Structure 1
Amino acid sequence: MSEAAVKSQAKSKIRTSTIVITGMMAAVLAILSIVQIPGPTGVPFTLQVFAVALCGYVLGTRLGALAVVIYILLGTVGVPVFAGMTAGPGVLMGVSGGFIFGFIIQAACCGLFVRRNFTNKTMRIAALVIAGLIGTAICEILGAITISLVGGMSYPAALVYCFTAFYPMDVVKVMLALVISLAVRSGLLKAGLLH
């Protein structure tokens, strides 16, 4: 086998494994979205934020966001992957819609520094934490928009609600996702399943 053929085969293997892992992360997001605790504004408490952060931290910016887009597309066409096993475009137009679209940005932010080389581990972890906190804050801001528009709450009140009712627990979920992702990503890289 020629050297070019070997390189092509290796590149194909990486692409196939990357596609499979991206799909698996979308599936993890769907599974963790099922469990929900009803919230007073109609926005349930779920493990979606944890799963979204995990997608970003494991896959990086582009693939993490892609996993979330796959999840959203599945839910939009009727696969019951949204919180509480709901589906359809109506969910995206409801009180949770801003959060769901915000998940794309959150995953992208979490993955922002995953591939970057830092001079020391502390700087790397700090960058990952800050990126995750910013992505989660953007998600809360977008969620407040739909709570305001659909839920009938003023935007300032919705924003305060999101940052008091959701953000503190979401920060814990994001930090847990970061800790878990360090081991998962390391294992996938060592196995040659991510590049």
Structure 2
Amino acid sequence: MEHSKNPIRRTVMTGVMAALLAVMSQISIPLPVGVPITLQTFAVALCGYLMGPALGTLAVVVYLALAAVGVPVLAGFSGGVGAFMGMTGGFLWGFIPMALLCGLGVRAGKKYIALLLGGAGLLLCHLAGSFQFGLVSGTSFFASVMAVSVPFLIKDAVSVVLAYLAAAGIAVSLKKAGMGDLA
């Protein structure tokens, strides 16, 4: 597929993906451990798989920057710098390498590499989330992993696979519409 060089199209699509991530973050099921189930993981992986490593990561960074300045784009319509320092902040930081690795994976052109790198990005996101949860809550790393990572791994792994499949379908539609390949 031909790579889209139109800077306006790329800028608009980056903004659209950041907005999609904000919307999907609001679809949330609260849990007693303090980490809600959301569609953020799906949306972050979709950003990387659809937009590639640079623009996909940029869309996530735009989303996080909006949150940092107080725009209520995070789960539960929250935002502000405090979210990055709280119990779930590590997951937010982990979205950046996750989008990057998903984007690099799709650039490789092989499904298994894309899914392996997406899985590696998910693992980094969970490690960062568990680490910060442990720091803030005063629990051990193992206890943090068991509380905020293990219960979500299957759902998040399925989210990464579904994001890959969705991105592949969307990319075909974009090509048919004459928009080229964003990744």
Matched, 1:93 2:79: no
Give aligned pairs, total: 178
The reply to whether residue 63 of structure 1 matches residue 50 of structure 2 is: no
Greater RCO, CA 8 A, separation 6+: 2
Pick the structure with greater CA Rg. 1
Deviation at 1:40, TM superposition (A): 2.4
Q: Does 1:114 align with 2:106?
A: yes
Instruction: Kindly report the root-mean-square deviation, in angstroms, between the aligned alpha carbons of the 2 structures.
Output: 1.5
The 8 Å contact of residues 14 and 59 in structure 2, kept in 1 or not, is answered as yes
Deviant stretches of 4+, over 6 Å: none
Corresponding position of 2:74:
82
User: 1:57-83 CA deviation, whole Å, 9 max, x = no partner?
Assistant: 000111111000000000111110001
2:129 is matched with 143
Secondary structure of 2:106 counterpart: coil
Report the equivalent of 2:65. 73
CA change 1:135–1:102 in 2 (3 A) is: same
TM-score when scaled to structure 1? Answer: 0.86
Which residue matches 1:37? 29
1:193, distance to aligned residue in structure 2 (A): 4.5
Query: CA contact under 8 A between 1:18 and 1:194: conserved in structure 2?
Result: no
Other structure's SS at 1:112 match: helix
Q: Which residue is 2:13 aligned to?
A: 21
After TM superposition, give the deviation of residue 192 of structure 1 in Å. Answer: 2.6
Gaps of 5+ in 1: 1-9, 118-123
**How far off its partner does 1:163 sit?**
3.7
Distance 2:137 2:56 in 1: 29
**Runs of 5+ unmatched residues, structure 2:** none
Q: Secondary structure at the match of 1:114?
A: helix
Match of 2:139 among 153, 157, 160: 153
Distance in 1 (CA, whole Å) between partners of 2:137 and 2:28 is: 19
CA distance in structure 1 between the aligned counterparts of 2:175 and 2:92, rounded to whole angstroms: 29
The alpha carbon displacement at 1:36 in A equals 1.3
CA distance in 1, matches of 2:166, 2:181: 16
2:108 counterpart SS class = coil
Provide TM-score, normalisation by structure 2. 0.91
Partners of 1:47 and 1:95 lie apart in 2 by 18
Alignment of 1:46 onto 2:38: yes
- Does structure 2 conserve the Cα–Cα contact (< 8 Å) formed by 1:17 and 1:193? no
CA distance in 2, matches of 1:65, 1:36: 23
